[in-house]
Structure 1
Amino acid sequence: MISEAGRPGRMKVVLFDVDGTLIDAVSNQRRVWETWAARYGLDADEVYRVALRTRPMETFAQVAADREPSECLALLHELEDDDVRSGVYAAFQGASELLHGLPPGAWALVTSNYEHRVRGRFARTGLPVPDVIVDAAAVAEGKPSPVPYLRAAARLGVQPADCLVIEDAPSGVRSGLRAGMTVWGVNTAAAVEGVHRHFVTLREAVPHILAWASGPQRTAAV
């Protein structure tokens, strides 16, 4: 059993990952990497397989070691920005209800993407944007380092023990756990290792997240 100690009387906040958690961007990510691979004459399936488990610069080192990394990154950014403008995006069911149901200042976004793309996607899907967004440019160390989630907690003025992290990916889960926060997993068929609670869909998690944010204590087990 993994207990989640509540701290009555203290403000509790919810910290959300974005892609795969609130926004369904899997097909967009695959399309961007397929286009990137085609530009260099690389096998798209292999490139995407590597990209799923590594950061972009690490991906380039594995699949395009003979190319200039800055050139590879510039092309990737160009394709991603174009996708934000022209791609088809959808918010996961329950995302709008959930974000509108949380008090202003009681939630933030913690993403490995960049803020301008997050804002573009949220505008396309009608989701509200919080005051605090910790993106790739805001931290020197990305997930699975605890730094991104700790930065969000600091900006909201709360302690890690008063934060609930909502994630879908192993690196994000590790980041939240290393930060000393409660971590719930969503949108995966099986629970990611380490999560305190698991929900197959975000829709299922909505009432529980809202209750956690408003309740005095929380205790759960996997």
Structure 2
Amino acid sequence: MTNLPFPDESFGAFLFDMDGTILNSIAAAERVWAAWARRHDVDVETFLPTIHGRRARETIGQLNIPGMDVAAEAIALAQAEIDDVEGVVSIAGAEAFLTALPANRWAIVTSAPRRLALRRLEAAGLPVPALMISGEDVAHGKPAPDCFLLAAERLGQQPQDCLVFEDAAAGIAAAEAAGARVVVVTATHAHTPETRHPTIASYGHVSPRLDAQGRLTMAGIATIARP
């Protein structure tokens, strides 16, 4: 069991990012965002790597396009993403892992609007959690820690007692700022990222367990990478 992330530790709750962490929506997201970028004369190749892990309003806002109504563009983009879920699939083992968790001990914490998150979960065949924190629920999106702090609070946990599953730099930074522990999911990465955190390639060889004290641990065999 030494290959498991945090093999000797237990947690009060597990917090999951959505896109790239429990489901793969890259193809759909990049289709929509590439079309939007071309309409606004934004270089697609350099722009697409910036869209992951952050709220649309912040991704658009950083472009500083004169006269652009950022809020209206973010709403239109969200609807376009709701309309295009072709190729959205769950990451291996995610469904079994999530359904094995006690309902009051996990949450999805995503930068996506709630309607889009629900649509992608449906498309991927994943369960809707009792608690989901969306990009609309906080004043400051990732990499600010607000979303993970709110999720921990609503689950009745301290953020330091939560394990966050993330894939994107903005989300990892948000989890670190919240004081949570982090596992990086590499399923959608072309190359294993450089990170000081443990990594898992998928959920196919890990499963959640409750220990004798009723705390969450992981069992099984996972791929782990440390510097």
For 2:51, give the aligned amino acid: A
Q: Which runs of 4+ in 1 moved over 6 A?
A: 2-5, 217-221
Letter in 1 for 2:177: R
Distance of 2:154 and 2:23 partners within structure 1: 23
Shift of 1:75: 3.2
- In the superposition, the TM-score normalised over structure 2's length comes to 0.79
- How big is the shift at 1:128? 1.0
Matches within 5 A, 1:51-66: 51-52=51-52, 56-61=56-61, 63=63, 65-66=65-66
1:95-114 counterparts in 2 under 5 A? 95-114=94-113
The answer as to 2:39 corresponding to 1:36 is no
Give the Å deviation of 1:57.
Answer: 4.0
Query: Runs of 5+ in structure 1 lacking a partner?
Result: none
- Which protein has the bigger helix share? 1
RMSD: 2.9
Per the TM alignment, residue 18 of structure 1 is displaced from its structure 2 partner at its CA by 0.1
Deviation at 1:110, TM superposition (A): 0.3
Report the 3-state secondary structure (helix = DSSP H, G, I; strand = E; otherwise coil) of the residue aligned with 2:128.
coil
Residue 149 of structure 1 aligns to a residue in which SS?
helix
Q: Which moved more, 1:42-51 or 1:174-183?
A: 42-51
Residue 109 to residue 30, structure 1, CA distance change in 2 (3 Å): same
What's the TM-score once normalised by structure 1's chain length?
0.81
Deviations 1:185-219 (A, max 9, x none): 11244245342x11233434x33xx14x5475879
Superposed displacement of residue 108, structure 1: 0.2
The corresponding residue for 2:69 is 69
Cα 1:159/1:48, change in 2 over 3 Å: same
Distance, in Å, in 1 between the alignment partners of 2:76 and 2:116 is: 15
* Structure 2 portions without partners, runs of 5+: 219-223
> Which residue matches 1:199?
200
Instruction: Name the structure 2 match of 1:132.
Output: 131
Q: Is the 8 A contact 2:163 2:181 kept in 1?
A: yes
Tell me how far 1:67 sits from its aligned partner.
4.1
Identity of aligned residues (%): 31
CA 1:214–1:36 in 2, change beyond 3 Å: closer, same or farther? farther
1:14-53 matches, within 5 Å, as 14-52=14-52
Aligned length: 211
Q: Hey, what's the Cα distance between the residues in 1 that align with 2:105 and 2:53? A: 31
Q: Against the structure 1 CA distance between its residues 65 and 104, is the aligned structure 2 distance closer, same or farther, given a 3 Å change threshold?
A: same
